[in-house]
Structure 1
Amino acid sequence: MGYAVVGLPSPLNAVLSSNNSSIPGGGIEDPNHFAKPTLPCYKWRLVISYDGTRFSGWQYQQSPPTIQCIVEKALIRATKLERKDLHLVGASRTDTGVHAWGQVAHFVTPFNYDSLENIHAALNGLLPCDIRVREISPAVPVFHARFSAKSKIYHYKIYNDIIMDPFQRLYAYHSTYRLNAVAMREAAKHFIGKHDFSAFVNASHNDRLPDPVKHIFRFDVTEMGALLQLEVEGSGFLYRQVRNMVALLLQIGREAIPPDIVPKILATQDRKELAKYALSAPPHGLCLVSIKYNEEHLQPPPGCPVTSYGRHHCVSKCKLPFY
């Protein structure tokens, strides 16, 4: 079964087949928001990028503002629908200060579109400059931004030099310690595979108990001059799991502890054990890069408009006189 990374072109048409609040592992923040629609509806997928610096993460709340709240307000104005009718769902609940290049979300409308370029332009015109919809595409009924995801890819960037690059300060953690990238790479290999990550999850306000067993497909440590990029791909991640894994790798990179500490902490399944060695890495170095889905969930349904990647404006005739 092939995987595809959103965003690429994709799907539409239909009736939502289930109440999202009944799907295991969903964790619903507002049950009324996900009430089962009774009318036929069309489903649309968004690929969203944002600078998370001034936002309190993705998940809906009005104050302080979140990405979901602001995107919903733009959708309400662009579609003339109510929040309860849009059913906007994001693939990943990024934390306060975390960025995204490839966040995926879906929403529904009771009507079809002939073209998606106009609503695409309208949304970006309504959104602040630190949030942008990169793509809008029609989605098949079975597609769900969160529950259809097969894997997620995150980057964590570390600026490893004595003097911080001011242009990197909002998007990379500054480490003045000379980090041993070889040791970090060796330690990162211990995370690969299927493990119980209970030792790497922070307590959440969520009332459900998430499955602590996650599958990490790869964990790369790449040196790019002074910038050290950690790239991890997994089936899913627990609350602050990535930042906790990075925090431990930073301590290993400083050579304060050996790489083989990773499997020992994993085996304890105890968050208190990790706390003996490291605290969570700051959020601003973390970015949700992309989300992968099964190919069949990205197939365009019949009678749908093509994916919109935005449109270029051109001037057909110069209106200024030549001098």
Structure 2
Amino acid sequence: MTMAYDGHLFHGFQMQPNQRTVQGTVEQALIKMTKGKRVIVEGSGRTDSGVHAIGQVIHFDYPGNQIPANKMILALNSMMPMDIIFNDCEIVNEDFHARYSIKGKWYRYRVSLDHFVNPFKRFYTGHYPYPIDIQKMQEAAKDLLGTHDFTSFAASGGQIINKVRTMYYVNVEKDEKENEIVFDFICSGFLYNMVRILVATLLEIGNGKRPVNDFPRIIKAKDRQEVRETAQASGLYLYHVFYDELPKKYRQDLE
């Protein structure tokens, strides 16, 4: 099932005791549907507290009689709070796994450039009220493409040992209407807080605090101390998950 949620009032995706989580909310609805049987929900990724999703994917094994996909989406949406909605549902083969079957993942990050924090955006964008050069960030982003060890961009607390990932696509552009910068990253997988650390580093480059060609040096260092800033959770969106090979238009690493 593909779902969207406003992460502001959730303590992240993953179930946690005495906390409101996305996984917990969905599993509670499934318990009602199964009259008390716990159904474990597996997600494509564990978004943090305050992080949103437009295209989060989950899977679960539903016990008992098979419910058609169109009925399952109706049933679950009828029990969801206002900050979760399911947009797609299909019955898949038993070898499908929401996390392990992934070919690539797309995160989007939005940064407001307004001088003051807009009260209507404060939970849905990052905020950077300083001079910024979009072209510098676009130029620097090219150095992220390809296969690298992204240790320098992984926050402590992550449990993944192998930090080598392939970055397929990076785009930085200005949304003139909203006065925002939109960052898009498509990668084979992401490390803990990786997107938020990359965004913070790109903003420093755009502001002139770092040279345009700083990414190769940072990547080579494999040291989180090289980039200490992390952008706010509020601007981050899990945008799309790829389970088929990526379309060529998203393979900038091959250009």
Settle same-fold status: TM greater than 0.5: yes
Percent of aligned positions with the same letter in both sequences?
Answer: 37
Q: Which residue identity lines up with residue 284 of structure 1 in the other structure? A: S
For the pair 1:243 / 2:213, whether they are aligned, the reply is no
Structure-1 separation of matches of 2:118 and 2:158: 35
- For 1:73-84, what aligned pairs fall within 5 Å after superposition? 73-83=28-38
Aligned to 2:13: 58
Aligned to 2:2: 47
Structure-1 separation of matches of 2:120 and 2:226: 36
Structure-2 separation of matches of 1:195 and 1:293: 22
**Displacement, 1:268?**
0.4
Structure 2 unaligned segments of length 5 or more: list them. Answer: 246-255
Aligned to 2:114: 161
Alignment length, in residue pairs? 243
Structure 1 unaligned segments of length 5 or more: list them. Answer: 1-45, 296-323
RMSD (Å) for aligned C-alpha atoms: 1.5
Structure-2 separation of matches of 1:195 and 1:123: 40
**Displacement, 1:114?**
5.2
Structure-1 separation of matches of 2:30 and 2:132: 45
Of 214, 220, 223, which residue of structure 2 is paired with 1:261? Answer: 214
Using the TM superposition, name which of 281-290 and 165-174 deviates more. Answer: 165-174
**Displacement, 1:284?**
0.5
Aligned to 1:222: 173
Aligned to 1:72: 27
Q: What do residues 9-61 of structure 1 show as CA deviations (whole Å, max 9, x unaligned)?
A: xxxxxxxxxxxxxxxxxxxxxxxxxxxxxxxxxxxxx1111000111111111
Structure-2 separation of matches of 1:247 and 1:231: 13
Of 86, 100, 110, which residue of structure 2 is paired with 1:133? Answer: 86
**Displacement, 1:80?**
2.6
Q: Which residue identity lines up with residue 131 of structure 1 in the other structure? A: I
8 Å CA contact 1:161–1:178 kept in 2: the answer is no
Q: Which residue identity lines up with residue 219 of structure 2 in the other structure? A: L
**Displacement, 1:136?**
1.6
8 Å CA contact 1:187–1:249 kept in 2: the answer is yes
- Which secondary structure does the structure 2 equivalent of 1:138 belong to? coil
For the pair 1:91 / 2:40, whether they are aligned, the reply is no
- Which secondary structure does the structure 2 equivalent of 1:149 belong to? coil
- Which secondary structure does the structure 1 equivalent of 2:135 belong to? helix
**Displacement, 1:81?**
4.9
Larger radius of gyration: 1
